[in-house]
């Protein structure tokens, strides 16, 4: 678009080449005779040198960070370590700053509003500006690569993409976190998961996936819960539980392989997360019952402060401590029926537990939840009854068990949690564009 070159490309131009570049002032250093500008355009950052008269214009004298500029000049090679990417620097001989491209200076300058120590709520209000920072923009660029890589990896595995509805009249993951709204006079909800719809696609499309928003009215403020998040979900037909685990492991590793094959993305990941290394395969597999024993042995209490016992939920804090100590991905499997969703298949060898899996990552805990699904009509009806759910609105789901049922399973991966792990971010709030969580719905 346009006849100028994007900055990453410009960086590799041979010395002596004339270029025209457009971008915003990322940083500026003024010396006696010289001005060094780091120009940013979302593709790269280029060092630009202004000399002599060019540093004495009105525009140069009032130049504030974030001002947009059009610059013409010649590429120069500079010694390594000169703060210039690829040791290239642009020596400007002309530039233009239309008056409405100037960034506000003084009290209104971004740098004044976004200082280290600025309150978190204020930073969130200023998200449209903090997004321009190195860390936020890097996370967003990695996010773009990850989303693209999921699409590529699914395509390689011949899994088809579909787009289920966001406005629904059934729950998937419990009534407590439903966002309810008025739908032409009837009750409806924002979807918690596309899983049930994906299941209905198997007979016509084979294995399917989607990358859609899911919504949860989470009434707590944790560093890994959002009210609106991006959910990567897949559903696979005619598989067993072991196939499901192998597939999840493959997808996670394949996506990492794809994004790290791009040197620009690999560089961003390593800068955000210097300790990052590819997970070892196979992932560790641990049954829920063994995890309970492990937590007891390590004196990690349950939510009430008591030693863990079979049947307890493994709460966020305990889960994270466990993953941090073990310090590698863990497939936690075979959770008890009572603490998991209604649709989960039971383990044929132990009816107390389900063929379910959570994938846990160091620093974050659960990033994936999945299971084999009940594929028998009567068992599914019994599950609705046990949960106190009216099966009538689920007729389109239960019909799957009446017209050619099959052993099948799937999972959902929280994209922001995956990114929090990959980019070593403290909270999922920093892994999405404009986070939504309890009491936060702006900007
Ligand atoms: O474990 P969950 O609730 O499982 C499901 O929704 C299944 N129906 C998915 C499926 O089998 N198709 O959610 C799946 C994942 C979690 O592991 C977590 O990564 C993410 O979605 N997640 C959230 N991420 C951010 N904020 C929240 N409030 C989240 N709730 C779940
Ligand atoms: Mg879960």
Q: Assess contact for 160 and 205: CB atoms under 8 A.
A: yes
217, 86: one domain: no
435 lines ligand 1 (CB under 6 A): no
Residue 2 lies inside a defined structural domain of this protein = no
212 lines ligand 1 (CB under 6 A): no
177, 104: one domain: no
Residue 1 lies inside a defined structural domain of this protein = no
Question: How much is the pLDDT for 88?
Answer: 82
Residue 113 lies inside a defined structural domain of this protein = no
pLDDT band at residue 2 under the 50/70/90 scheme: low
Residue where the block lists tokens 């979807």: 191
Burial of 338 (0-12, 13-18, 19+ CB in 10 A): exposed
Residue 120 lies inside a defined structural domain of this protein = no
Question: Which ligand is the nearest neighbour of the Cα of 174?
Answer: 1
- CA–CA distance, 381 with 388 (Å, rounded to integer): 11
231 lines ligand 1 (CB under 6 A): yes
Express each pLDDT in 212-232 by its tens digit. Answer: 999 999 998 999 999 999 999
Express each pLDDT in 31-52 by its tens digit. Answer: 989 999 999 999 888 999 999 9
Which residue, of 58, 74, 108, is where some domain finishes?
108
253, 193: one domain: yes
Question: How much is the pLDDT for 365?
Answer: 95
Question: How much is the pLDDT for 11?
Answer: 67
CATH code for position 421: 3.30.930.10
Express each pLDDT in 114-171 by its tens digit. Answer: 888 888 889 999 999 999 999 999 999 999 999 999 999 999 999 999 999 999 999 9
252, 367: one domain: yes
Express each pLDDT in 364-396 by its tens digit. Answer: 999 999 999 999 999 999 999 999 999 999 999
Residue 98 lies inside a defined structural domain of this protein = yes
- CA–CA distance, 365 with 406 (Å, rounded to integer): 31
Q: Assess contact for 323 and 365: CB atoms under 8 A.
A: yes
pTM above 0.90, yes or no: yes
Burial of 128 (0-12, 13-18, 19+ CB in 10 A): exposed
Percent of the chain predicted with pLDDT > 90: 87
Domain count, the chain: 2
CATH code for position 99: 2.40.50.140
CA of 78 from ligand 2 middle (Å) equals: 52
172 lines ligand 1 (CB under 6 A): yes
ipTM surpassing 0.90, yes or no? yes
pLDDT band at residue 427 under the 50/70/90 scheme: very high
92, 143: one domain: no
For the CA of 358, the closest atom of ligand 1 is: 17
79, 209: one domain: no
pLDDT band at residue 411 under the 50/70/90 scheme: very high
Inter-CA distances, 391 with 176, 186, 373, 395, Å:
18, 18, 16, 7
Express each pLDDT in 17-26 by its tens digit. Answer: 899 999 999 9
Which residue, of 53, 79, 108, is where some domain finishes?
108
Domain that holds residue 68: 7-108
Which residue, of 108, 142, 163, is where some domain finishes?
108
Residue 233 lies inside a defined structural domain of this protein = yes
- Residue to mutate, 233, 320, 355, 417, ligand 1, most ligand atoms under 8 Å from C-beta: 417
pLDDT band at residue 67 under the 50/70/90 scheme: very high
Question: How much is the pLDDT for 107?
Answer: 77
- CA–CA distance, 290 with 193 (Å, rounded to integer): 29
22, 139: one domain: no
The DSSP call for residue 429 is G
Residue 440 lies inside a defined structural domain of this protein = no
151, 243: one domain: yes
24, 143: one domain: no
C-beta neighbour count of 35 within 10 angstroms: 20
143, 220: one domain: yes
Question: How much is the pLDDT for 106?
Answer: 78
Question: How much is the pLDDT for 14?
Answer: 75
Question: How much is the pLDDT for 304?
Answer: 93
41, 149: one domain: no
416 lines ligand 1 (CB under 6 A): yes
For the CA of 411, the closest atom of ligand 1 is: 11
What is the average pLDDT value for the chain, to the nearest integer?
94
409 lines ligand 1 (CB under 6 A): no
Q: Is the dihedral of CA 171, 378, 198, 372 positive or negative?
A: positive
240, 388: one domain: yes
pLDDT band at residue 1 under the 50/70/90 scheme: very low
Residue 438 lies inside a defined structural domain of this protein = no
Q: Among residues 131, 146, 21, 85, which one has the least CA distance to residue 416?
A: 146
């Amino acid at each position: 678009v346009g006849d100028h070159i994007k900055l990453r490309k410009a960086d590799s131009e041979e010395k002596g080449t004339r270029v025209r570049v457009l971008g915003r002032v990322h940083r500026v250093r003024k010396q006696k005779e010289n001005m060094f500008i780091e120009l940013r355009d979302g593709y790269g950052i280029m060092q630009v040198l202004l000399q002599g008269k060019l540093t004495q214009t009105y525009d140069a004298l009032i130049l504030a960070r974030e001002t947009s500029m059009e610059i013409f000049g010649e590429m120069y090679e500079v010694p390594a370590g000169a703060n210039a990417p690829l040791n290239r620097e642009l020596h400007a001989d002309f530039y233009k700053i239309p008056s409405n491209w100037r960034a506000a200076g003084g009290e209104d300058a971004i740098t004044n509003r976004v200082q280290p120590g600025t309150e978190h709520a204020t930073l969130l209000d200023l998200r449209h500006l903090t997004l321009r920072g190195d860390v936020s923009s890097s996370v967003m660029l990695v996010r773009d690569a990850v989303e693209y890589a999921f699409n590529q990896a699914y395509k390689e595995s011949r899994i088809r993409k579909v787009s289920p509805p966001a406005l629904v009249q059934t729950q998937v993951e419990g009534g407590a976190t439903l966002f309810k709204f008025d739908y032409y006079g009837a009750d409806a909800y924002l979807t918690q998961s596309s899983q049930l719809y994906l299941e209905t696609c198997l007979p016509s499309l084979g294995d399917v996936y989607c990358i859609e928003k899911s919504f949860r009215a989470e009434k707590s403020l944790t560093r890994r819960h959002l009210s609106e998040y991006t959910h990567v979900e897949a559903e696979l037909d005619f598989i067993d539980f072991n196939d499901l685990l192998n597939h999840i492991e493959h997808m996670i590793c394949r996506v990492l392989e794809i994004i790290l094959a791009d040197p620009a993305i690999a560089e961003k990941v390593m800068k955000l997360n210097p300790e990052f290394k590819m997970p070892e395969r196979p992932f560790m597999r641990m049954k829920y019952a063994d995890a309970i024993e492990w937590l007891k042995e390590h004196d990690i209490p349950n939510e009430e402060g008591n030693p863990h016992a079979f049947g307890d939920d493994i709460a966020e804090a305990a889960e994270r401590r466990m993953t941090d100590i073990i310090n590698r991905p863990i497939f936690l499997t075979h959770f008890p029926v009572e603490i998991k969703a209604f649709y989960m298949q039971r383990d044929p060898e132990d009816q107390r537990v389900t063929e379910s899996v959570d994938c846990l990552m160091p620093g974050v805990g659960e990033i994936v939840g999945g299971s084999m699904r009940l594929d028998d009509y009567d068992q599914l009806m019994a599950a609705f009854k046990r949960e106190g759910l009216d099966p009538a609105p689920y007729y389109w789901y239960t019909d799957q068990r009446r017209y050619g049922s099959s052993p099948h399973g799937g999972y959902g991966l929280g994209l922001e949690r995956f990114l929090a792990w990959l980019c070593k971010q403290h909270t999922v709030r920093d892994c999405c564009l404009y986070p939504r969580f309890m009491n936060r719905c702006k900007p």
